[in-house]
């Protein structure tokens, strides 16, 4: 039998193939959206519906402590919520691939095994950019007016930074839950966890103890920081974590990644046991 | 291939899950260019063996080589020479058949253009050209399995692992998959086939390893295994129970063993060597004596019989029936 050259026909190195494999896994993920555009509509449907409901239905009854427009408070919160719920999408795809044997086929092939997880992460970030763009357009149509400039770019970056950290939570959960049906149940857990934050309501308006929990919710920091960067710093509290929202919006994802990336990698390696 | 002409070589494989020993000193040798059946009931360790040999899980003890390469130390090299199809390796159900094969081709590092060309070739070979641009979710079970096989054949592997390739397929699709497997072997690929279907191993494999409780308990040709149970038997079914003693006497004359009588099924059978001679002799004598015969014939032992003889217990399917 002729020896098969593992580095490929052009004799390229390991790093080249790790990147090429990753890109091919990304292509697969994006092709899924192209073949099932209704999926991205579902993913966007919930935040857009929430924007409309909270903006128009509850909007007039909602107030922001210290004054300010509720819309300026709400829109960054919606962007954060969409990023936060993203981990459910990650988990759903991973649990599907692992229970249906797609991950096993990848693992039985001479491709870089890192590409399986990395490709998923890059796909999710690309999709997150598209989601944010569509949501921001919706917000602009509704009259939301953020500041432009580098602060806008920084806000966009912080939102993706949060999404990036939650990819590892999604991969870990996707490898942990036994079947795709169970992944659907994650929403029931995620929804209250995102409500107890500064996404819809300022923590000062909650009962004292709940407000403190909400302020320390990692996604509250990203929400407060992006409000600041969009030039509409409304509804901020005066606890330490709220006064350092920009710092904490950078730090929380580091902590989340430090916890869930090793868990996800360990779970992935356990597939060989 | 390695010096001995073996495509797969496993010695004393051990795999434990907690207290349970999934493999307990499992041995296997598969000659290059053959179809080798790995036969055993559910939970015998077939899938564990295939997952170790295809580098999906690590072994706890023993040694295994595939295409001459050590599965533990040269996993990546092994992966470039194997294909895996069955229960545990799947295709993407959202993508089309063509998109699947092109994606896997690129992940096998063929490069875009060669991946495209190879996908078209395989779609043709596995008779999927008409459905090539449909989503796999709309494929029938048989088409899916053929696409699965095609994905395993992208690099024309030296060794192909088929883990229960026809489980859950209707008889026609099963026949199609069998035809595909025969074509692959004709092209030089070695196939290790796990199955609970005794008929499947009998039809496809030139050699069979029987596995039970994590150990190989027999390794032989299909005919060799059948001979262990005894060769062919002549069998007579009568309509009247009172005829049984007479039939036993007639059958004993042609048999080289002791006839066995089953009173409830009104059946008498005995081992014979001169198959046709014995059958004609028994038929003529019974007719002369005026015994009314419901059925008469020669029976080759089935692999179910083999399994019962080797393990002392029946296969799962039989036990459930």
B141–chain A Cβ distance below 8 A for any pair = no
Q: In what order do the strands lie in the sheet with B190-195?
A: B82-86, B159-163, B190-195, B35-39, B207-212, B215-220
CB atoms within 10 A of CB B228: 14
pLDDT at A2 (0 to 100): 36
CB atoms within 10 A of CB A10: 9
Please give, rounded to a whole number of angstroms, the shortest distance from the CA of B27 to a CA of chain A.
20
**Strand bridging mode B215-220 / B233-238:** unpaired
pLDDT at A225 (0 to 100): 95
Please give, rounded to a whole number of angstroms, the shortest distance from the CA of A260 to a CA of chain B.
23
pLDDT at A128 (0 to 100): 94
Angle at A249 between CA A246 and CA A255, to 5 degrees: 140
Q: Is the torsion defined by CA of A14, A19, A22, A28 positive or negative?
A: negative
- A108 CB neighbours in chain B (<8 A) are 54-56, 79, 82, 84, 89
Mutate to test the interface with A, among B8, B83, B107 (most CBs of A within 10 A): B107
Q: How far is CA B152 from the centre of its chain?
A: 18
pLDDT at A142 (0 to 100): 87
Instruction: For residue A192, name the pLDDT band (cuts at 50, 70, 90).
Output: confident
Give the mean model confidence (pLDDT) for residues A65-79: 87
- B58 CB neighbours in chain A (<8 A) are 272-273
In the predicted model, what is the mean pLDDT of chain A? 88
Q: What is the pLDDT of residues B60-82, one digit of tens each?
A: 999 999 999 999 999 999 999 99
From the CA atom positions of chain B, what is the Rg in Å? 24
Cα–Cα distance for residue pair B276/B296, rounded to 1 Å? 12
CB contact under 8 A, A6 and B95: no
Angle at A99 between CA A93 and CA A105, to 5 degrees: 90
Helix (H, G, I), strand (E, B) or coil at B100: helix
In sequence order, what are the residues at sequence separation of 6 or more whose Cβ sits closer than 8 angstroms to the Cβ of residue B224?
Answer: none
B54–chain A Cβ distance below 8 A for any pair = yes
Q: Is the torsion defined by CA of A86, A88, A93, A98 positive or negative?
A: positive
pLDDT at B317 (0 to 100): 46
Low-confidence ranges of chain B (pLDDT < 50): 1-3, 317-321
Q: Which of B55, B95, B104 sits opposite A31 (nearest CB)?
A: B95
pLDDT at position A11 over 70:
no
CB contact under 8 A, A108 and B56: yes
- A9 CB neighbours in chain B (<8 A) are 109, 111
- A36 CB neighbours in chain B (<8 A) are 94
Give the mean model confidence (pLDDT) for residues A243-258: 95
Q: What is the pLDDT of residues B187-226, one digit of tens each?
A: 889 999 998 877 788 889 999 999 988 999 999 998 888 7
ipTM (interface pTM): 0.86
Give the mean model confidence (pLDDT) for residues A71-75: 89
Higher pLDDT, A211 or B41: A211
Helix (H, G, I), strand (E, B) or coil at B297: strand
CB contact under 8 A, A101 and B88: yes
* Short-list B154, B160, B151, B181, CA closest to B169: B181
Give the chain B residue nearest A109 (alpha carbons): B79
Angle at A164 between CA A161 and CA A167, to 5 degrees: 155
B152, B184 contact by CB (below 8 A):
no
Instruction: Among A27-41, A123-137, B78-92, name the one with the lowest average pLDDT.
Output: B78-92
Cα–Cα distance for residue pair B71/B272, rounded to 1 Å? 47
pLDDT at position A10 over 70:
no
CB contact under 8 A, B56 and A104: yes
A30–chain B Cβ distance below 8 A for any pair = no
């Amino acid at each position: 039998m002729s020896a098969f050259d593992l580095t490929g026909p052009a004799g390229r190195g390991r790093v080249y193939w790790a990147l090429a494999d990753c890109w091919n896994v990304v292509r697969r993920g994006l092709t899924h959206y192209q073949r099932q555009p209704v999926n991205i509509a579902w993913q966007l449907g919930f935040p857009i519906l929430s924007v409309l409901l909270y903006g128009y239905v509850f909007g007039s009854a909602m107030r922001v402590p210290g004054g300010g427009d509720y819309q300026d408070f709400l829109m960054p919160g919606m962007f954060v919520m969409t990023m936060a719920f993203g981990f459910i999408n990650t988990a759903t795809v991973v649990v599907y691939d692992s229970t249906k044997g797609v991950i096993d086929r990848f693992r039985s092939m001479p491709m870089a095994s890192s590409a399986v997880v990395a490709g998923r992460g890059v796909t999710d970030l690309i999709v997150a950019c598209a989601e944010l763009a569509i949501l921001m357009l919706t917000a602009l149509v509704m009259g939301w007016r953020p500041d432009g400039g580098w602060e806008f770019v920084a806000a966009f970056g912080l939102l993706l930074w949060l999404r990036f950290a939650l990819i590892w939570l999604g991969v870990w959960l996707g490898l942990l839950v036994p079947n795709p049906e169970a992944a659907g149940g994650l929403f029931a857990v995620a929804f209250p966890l995102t409500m107890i934050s500064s996404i819809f309501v300022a923590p000062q308006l909650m009962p004292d103890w709940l407000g403190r929990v909400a302020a320390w919710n990692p996604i509250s920091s990203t929400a407060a920081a992006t409000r600041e960067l969009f030039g509409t710093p409304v509804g901020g509290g005066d606890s330490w974590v709220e006064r350092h929202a920009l710092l904490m919006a950078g730090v929380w994802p580091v902590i989340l990644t430090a916890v869930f990336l090793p868990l996800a990698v360990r779970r992935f390696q356990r597939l060989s046991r | 291939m390695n010096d001995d002409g073996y495509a797969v070589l496993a010695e004393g494989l051990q795999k434990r899950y907690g207290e349970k020993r999934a493999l307990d000193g499992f041995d296997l040798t598969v000659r290059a260019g053959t179809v080798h059946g790995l036969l055993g009931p559910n939970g015998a360790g077939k899938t564990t063996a295939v997952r170790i040999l295809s580098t999906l899980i690590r072994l706890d003890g023993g040694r295994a080589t595939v295409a001459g390469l050590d599965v533990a130390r040269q996993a990546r090299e092994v992966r470039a020479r194997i294909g895996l199809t069955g229960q545990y390796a799947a295709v993407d159900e959202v993508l089309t058949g063509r998109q699947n094969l092109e994606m896997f081709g690129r992940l096998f590092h063929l490069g875009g253009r060669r991946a495209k060309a190879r996908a078209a070739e395989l779609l043709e070979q596995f008779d999927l050209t008409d459905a090539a641009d449909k989503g796999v979710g709309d494929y029938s079970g048989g088409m899916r399995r053929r696409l699965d096989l095609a994905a395993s054949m992208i690099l024309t592997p030296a060794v192909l692992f088929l883990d229960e390739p026809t489980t859950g397929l209707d008889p026609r699709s099963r026949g199609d998959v069998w035809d595909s497997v025969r074509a692959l072997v004709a092209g030089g690929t070695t196939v290790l086939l796990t199955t609970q279907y005794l008929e499947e191993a009998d039809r496809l494999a030139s050699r069979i390893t029987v596995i039970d409780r994590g150990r190989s308990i027999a390794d032989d040709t299909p005919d060799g295994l059948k001979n262990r149970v005894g060769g062919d038997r002549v069998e007579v079914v009568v309509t009247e129970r009172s005829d049984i003693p007479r039939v036993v006497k007639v059958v004993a004359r042609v048999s080289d063993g002791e006839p066995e009588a089953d009173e409830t099924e009104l059946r008498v059978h005995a081992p014979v060597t001169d198959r046709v001679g014995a059958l004609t002799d028994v038929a003529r004598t019974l007719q002369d004596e005026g015994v009314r015969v419901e059925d008469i014939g020669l029976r080759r032992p089935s692999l179910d019989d083999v399994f019962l003889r080797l393990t002392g217990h029946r296969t799962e399917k039989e036990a459930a029936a």
